[in-house]
Amino acid sequence: MIPDDSPLFNNQSVPKHFDDGEVRLRFHLGQDAVPTLEGGRHLLYTCPVCQRPWYQAGRRHYPRLTGEQLIHLGTTFHADIHALSTLPRALCAICSTSYLDGLFTIEAYRRDASCRYGGYHLLWERASPPYTALVMMMCQPASLPLRTLVSMEPDTLTAPIGDVRAWLAWLETCLCPAAARVYREEEQYLLARRLSPVNGLSRHDHNAEPRIWCGYAWRDNYQPSGEPVLVSLAVTTAPHASFAPAPLAALLNAWRLLARTMRTVL
């Protein structure tokens, strides 16, 4: 163990208590990424398309910040708002809706000393009726039970952009599996308990109908590493359609198109 008063900590590249996951996350993101009560974190981002800063509070997105708002948030989270290029990059709600017809979020299952799982969590929420939501989860080890995967809370993405592009490239060329099983009722319930099937963009639409999750899962080999992974796709549907979920090939094709578009804007 390195003592806390070691001169090594005077070097700004190695913060004190760097073995703590929250400290490493704060150092990597350049700000205090405080968790919200509803899940997710408070974070300042820079959009790679419009190059403007924006604020995320859990599942809520606030693009087009005023100068006063940006100063307040930068002070609150100890972020350097005078060097926006140092902020993490993610599509703002306006650009995401313009290019992808909805909100697109990439999160991660981080593998560290306290968590032996690793992978990606992708969510797309349509911005117009019927407010469909799609989620794709990929995680290691492949032996992970599906009920565990759908219950796991992802965290802020910290992987290098190159790694994310490689994952999206794999998703873009992923073949439809010959053997994939449909979600059981328990797995539908567990996913809904963690991630509401009601699209947040529909909260002001009183005519929006209730939704439930339906999905598929299979085991695949992630290229180029060739490591086995557990993959799951889910989509929100009307309750009366739960006995006939959308075809897996159609869901996978939708994700291929999203992945192709995302690779061009990252």
Question: Could you read off the pLDDT of 145-199 as tens digits, one per residue?
Answer: 999 999 999 988 888 888 888 889 999 999 999 889 999 999 999 999 999 888 7
User: What does the pLDDT look like over 84-118, one tens digit per residue?
Assistant: 888 999 999 999 999 899 999 999 987 654 456 68
Backbone angles phi, psi at 91, to 5 degrees: -65, 130
pLDDT band at 262, cuts 50/70/90?
A: confident
DSSP 34: P
- What does residue 115 show for φ and ψ, rounded to 5 degrees? -140, 120
Closest listed residue to residue 213, CA positions, set 190, 179, 229, 180: 190
Unique residue bearing structure tokens 């796991």:
152
The pLDDT value recorded for residue 195 is: 92
What contacts 81, CB < 8 A, 6 or more positions away? 44, 53, 70, 71, 73, 74
> Which residue type is seen at 61?
H
What is the C-alpha to C-alpha distance for residues 74 and 69, in angstroms, rounded to an integer?
A: 8
What global pTM score does this model have?
A: 0.84
The order of strands in the sheet holding 60-62 is: 42-46, 53-57, 60-62
Closest Cα partner for 239 from 199, 202, 188? 188
Token output for 247: 């075809």
pLDDT tens-digit profile of 190-247?
999 999 888 766 565 656 677 899 999 999 998 767 889 999 999 998 887 655 567 8
Q: State residue 159's pLDDT score.
A: 80
